[in-house]
Chain A
Amino acid sequence: MTRDRILDTATPPEAPSRRVGPRKPDLLLGDSHHLCPGCGEPLAVRALLESIEAVAARQAAIGVVGIGCYTTFSGSMDVDLVQALHGRAPSVATGVKRMRPESLVFTLQGDGDMVNEGLQEVIHTAARGEGVTCVLLNNGVFGETGGHMTATTALGQRTKNTLEGRDAGYHGYPILIGDLLAQLEGTAFAARTSVHDAAGVARTRRMLTRAFEVQQQGQGFSFVEVLTMCPTGWFVPTAEGPQYMDEVLGRVHVTGVLKDPSARA
């Protein structure tokens, strides 16, 4: 492989070709965001918007957004949205879905939002089997407020107040929310994915699409947890984000399908 010729990447090619995928999701307004370099959340949001299109719900989707770095996308996701308070999206989504059962209703929340402030809300929503899809962006930190520990921070993970790594004796244990929700009878589908590489991003889109299908088929509560990189909160260079996620967060919050409707009796 030669490394002595850098190619032109400023303009589209002259040779006949076809475009491979849109540069950004059609349902994303605007051209840029102010999230940190190497942040995994935009990748999850991309997968979410593309999944809405994949299930033909562009004009049926209503989202409820929590509070965190990702809240910046409230202004740029081109679907009807209700901005909720920290932790409270699942109950707001419940009210929306009960009044508009034909809509595709989802929440978008971070781990601080869903597993700290709003733990009770998501558990009750799942237990009731509400026909909504709760989407968790889990990076194990409170990104927006400066990178402190959350209920999902893995043992050994570095955050602003666990600089030596989370220690069980001092800080307690993380909550594996995906696994917890999968145990509830009302949960029809639960999966955990990550966006630390291309395969992970593609898998994230597939799992979100599956979750939306479960909702559309009226099978009950669906949940997708997406592990996202936060190099700023983890105090690592951006290029090391994927590896840190894989080795620290991903060892505790293990990816995979946690529950599928086909498993129910």
Chain B
Amino acid sequence: MERVESRGTVTIDRERCKGCELCIPACPPRVLAMSSDVNGMGFRVPELYPGCTGCGACLLVCPDFVFEVFAFDAPVVHEGTS
């Protein structure tokens, strides 16, 4: 079983996102990917996968101030599925 640690996490304001995708390559551990569904404005939005480091790069590059970033006191472990 794969085991991934996240040292941080984010909240994403889905309805404010304009789907510009600038956060995707900005994330150093590459744990953001665009959704397949869309928000109320018709934009695809970023989704978070395990492995966030809480670095805040997504927050820095988002033109619509969609992200809040949190750094965990202790790493959170995600048990993977096969």
Q: In the complex they form, do A and B come into direct contact, defined as C-beta atoms under 8 angstroms apart?
A: yes
A: residues with CB less than 8 A from B are 1-7, 9-13, 15-21, 23-24, 28, 31-33, 35-43, 46, 195, 197-198, 201-202, 231, 238-239, 241-242
Q: What interface size band does chain B fall in?
A: 35 or more
Residue of B whose beta carbon sits closest to that of A17: B70
Residue of B whose beta carbon sits closest to that of A24: B65
A42-B64 contact given A9-B11, A12-B70, A37-B43, CB 8 Å threshold: yes
The answer for the CA separation of A2 and B3 in the assembled complex, in Å, is 8
A238-B20 contact given A4-B81, A12-B70, CB 8 Å threshold: yes
A198-B70 contact given A9-B11, A9-B47, A17-B8, CB 8 Å threshold: no
The answer for the CA separation of A238 and B74 in the assembled complex, in Å, is 36
Are B61 and A197 touching (Cβ within 8 A)?
Answer: yes
Residue of B whose beta carbon sits closest to that of A18: B71
Residue of B whose beta carbon sits closest to that of A39: B63
Are A17 and B20 touching (Cβ within 8 A)?
Answer: no
A interface footprint on B11-24 (CB within 8 Å = 1, 0 otherwise): 11010101111101
List B residues 13-63 near A (Cβ within 8 Å): 14, 16, 18-22, 24-26, 29-31, 33, 43, 47-51, 54-57, 59-61, 63
Q: How many A-B residue pairs have CB under 8 A?
A: 142
Shortest Cβ distance from residue A190 to the other chain B in the assembled complex, whole angstroms: 24
Are A198 and B61 touching (Cβ within 8 A)?
Answer: yes
The answer for the CA separation of A4 and B79 in the assembled complex, in Å, is 11
Q: What would 10 A/B residue contacts be, using CB atoms closer than 8 Å?
A: A1-B29, A2-B4, A4-B80, A10-B14, A12-B70, A16-B74, A17-B8, A23-B67, A37-B18, A42-B65
| Residue from the set B43, B60, B74, B78 with the largest chain A CB neighbour count within 10 Å | B60
Given contacts A6-B49, A12-B70, A41-B63, 11 further A-B contacts (CB under 8 A): A5-B80, A6-B47, A6-B48, A9-B9, A9-B12, A17-B72, A19-B70, A23-B59, A24-B65, A31-B65, A43-B63
Contacting residues, chain B, for A46 (C-beta < 8 A): 65
Shortest Cβ distance from residue A5 to the other chain B in the assembled complex, whole angstroms: 6
